[in-house]
Structure formats: structure tokens, C-alpha cells
Amino acid sequence: MTDRGEPVESFPIQRRGTVDYMRAAGRRSVVHGLVEFDVTEVRQRIRTGETERGEQLSFTAFLVYCLSQALEDHPTLQSYRDWRGRIVRFDDVDVMVIVETQVDGVQTGVPHVIRAANRRSLRSIHDEIRTAQRDPDEGRQSKLASLGLRLPGPVRRLFWRLPQFFPRRWKRIAGTVAVTSVGMFGTGGGWGISPTNYSLQLTVGGIERKPGIVDGTVEPREYLDLTVTFDHDVVDGAPAARFVQRLKELVEDRQGVEAALESSAAGTD
């Protein structure tokens, strides 16, 4: 269909969920922190492991693992207020990630929740992400979800208010924290800033190569641009800063990578 020579298409019903989510998330009291992590060593080790074993360790899995371990030390970052004004703090770190998979022949990013990531190995998280990427049913909507998207907008958007009223139910459906990536769809540096319905979200931006100082010497380094978004209604700036510092230490120390590569080698022997 055209209007004065310009193509006009109907709005995809699947996009309604995105619109509803962004509208609800935009009403939360979130704070964004833009940080850089030196990922030179971990990316080099992942590339070496791929050469040695013919399999690339998932960088998203690595970030999820580091995030879950940092939350073990700073659990207040995944706290929610319920409808009675109480603070609900979860022990298990259930991480919502975006995985790329084929949906009706089109490469699409779909949400997937990794349960109890803080109690699992990096290899286990990696294997789950790879399985989700290969699953042809991973991105397909259930009949109930498709029916829900046909409801009036004000009714649909009530679902996205679950974290503000019923955090435990939100956890069962969508996890406790989120890792979303804009860098996976492009190249170069840059940060992504997005509203979120979670008390904590990592938005993975680009990776930029630029000079860094190591042991007093300037050399080329690779820096990950990462946006840390947290709910200021339940978390103050100081605890959030300490969490980010711990996350930085885990990422730059390549936490869990050696064990994951060793387990991969053991599995191929």
C-alpha cells in the first residue's frame, strides 16, 4: 500500500510489546553510569582458546558470569519494592539476556533468562546460550502472549508494572537483572542508554581499540563501553559504585575463563 508514492505498512503486532515495555520503563527512577573496562586480556584468551579448540567462548556468557559473581558480593543491586513499599531482595541471580536466533528465517534477538547464574560455572552459562541460539522455538511467541498483544494498550502495559508491585512474579517470568547488547549488532566503540524495567541492567556497547597505560608503558588496548543502569529508588550511588568496581575487577581478571576453557578441553579429550 502506498500514500503519494511512499510505502505504508501496518505496524507489526509483535512490536507492541517493545512499545509497552519502553513506556513503562521510562517512568522508573533509573541512573545510568557509563564506564570502560579493559578487555584486552580476556578477548585475547578467548581468541587463543578458539584457535586451540575450534570453539569461541561466548563473551556474553562471560559478562553474565562476572555480573552474577559481583552481585554475590553486592546483592542490594537486585532489590525491588513491592506494592506494600517493602524491599524484596533476591538470592538467585536470574539474568535476562538477548540471544540471536533464527525466527522464520530471519536472524533476530530474543530474550532468554539464565536462572541462578551465580550458582553456575561460566561453561554452563555458555552452553545454555549456545543451545538457545540453536533452538528454532526460542523466539516464537506462545499463544497466550500473542493474545495479550491484541489487548488494548492500557491493559497490556499493566504487565510491565509487575516489578513495581509483584517482584517475585516478575522474577519467575523475566528474571532479576538484565544484560542487553547493542554492540553485538555493530562495530566500533560507543555506549547505549536505554530505560529498563529491571533494578539493574548492563547495556553492552562497542569495543574500541585505543592507547592505554600498562606498567608505565603506552600500548594499544581494547576497551569495552558498558552502561550500568540501576534503580535509584532502592539503590544509592555509593553501593552502585562499589558494585561497578567489583564488576570491573572480575572482567579485567578474566574471571572463570581459564576454568571454562579447561572444561572444554576435557570434554573433547
Domain of 101, CATH number, reads 3.30.559.10
Confirm if 94 and 118 have CB atoms less than 8 A apart: no
Residue that is written with C-alpha cell 530474543 in the block: 110
Q: How confident is the model at residue 55 (pLDDT cuts 50, 70, 90)?
A: confident
Confirm if 123 and 264 have CB atoms less than 8 A apart: yes
User: Using CA atoms, how far apart are residues 6 and 105, in angstroms rounded to an integer?
Assistant: 27
- Cell numbers of 231, please? 534503580
| Beta strands, E only, the chain | 2-3, 6-7, 30-38, 79-81, 87-89, 95-103, 106-114, 177-181, 200-214, 217-231
The sign of the dihedral angle between the CA atoms of 243, 248, 249, 254 is positive
> What domain count does the chain have?
1
Cα-based distances in Å from 132 to 60, 74, 127, 142:
13, 28, 9, 16
185-209 b/e (C-beta count within 10 Å ≥ 16 → b): eeeebebbebbbbbbbbbbbbbbee
Mean pLDDT on 231-244: 92
In this prediction, residue 136 carries a pLDDT of: 62
Pairing state of beta strands 30-38 and 217-231? antiparallel
Q: Is residue 7 part of a domain?
A: no
- Cell numbers of 258, please? 581459564
Full domain range(s) for residue 243: 13-264
In this prediction, residue 269 carries a pLDDT of: 43
Q: How confident is the model at residue 143 (pLDDT cuts 50, 70, 90)?
A: low
Q: Is residue 168 part of a domain?
A: yes
Q: Is residue 44 part of a domain?
A: yes
Mean pLDDT on 94-119: 83
Q: Is residue 109 part of a domain?
A: yes
Q: How confident is the model at residue 62 (pLDDT cuts 50, 70, 90)?
A: very high
DSSP 8-state symbol, 76: G
DSSP 8-state symbol, 101: E
Mean pLDDT on 135-159: 62
User: Of the ranges 24-28, 35-39, 215-219, which one carries the lowest mean pLDDT score?
Assistant: 24-28
Q: Is residue 269 part of a domain?
A: no
User: Of the ranges 9-23, 37-51, 167-181, 200-214, which one carries the lowest mean pLDDT score?
Assistant: 9-23
Residue 142: is its pLDDT beyond 70?
no
Cα-based distances in Å from 265 to 128, 134, 253:
18, 22, 21
Q: Does 4 or 81 have the greater pLDDT score?
A: 81
SS3 87: strand
Q: Is residue 4 part of a domain?
A: no
Q: Is residue 3 part of a domain?
A: no
Q: Is residue 130 part of a domain?
A: yes
In this prediction, residue 16 carries a pLDDT of: 67
The sign of the dihedral angle between the CA atoms of 104, 109, 112, 116 is positive
Average pLDDT, the chain: 83
- Cell numbers of 152, please? 488494548
Residue 56: is its pLDDT beyond 90?
no
**To the nearest whole percent, how much of the chain has pLDDT over 70?**
74
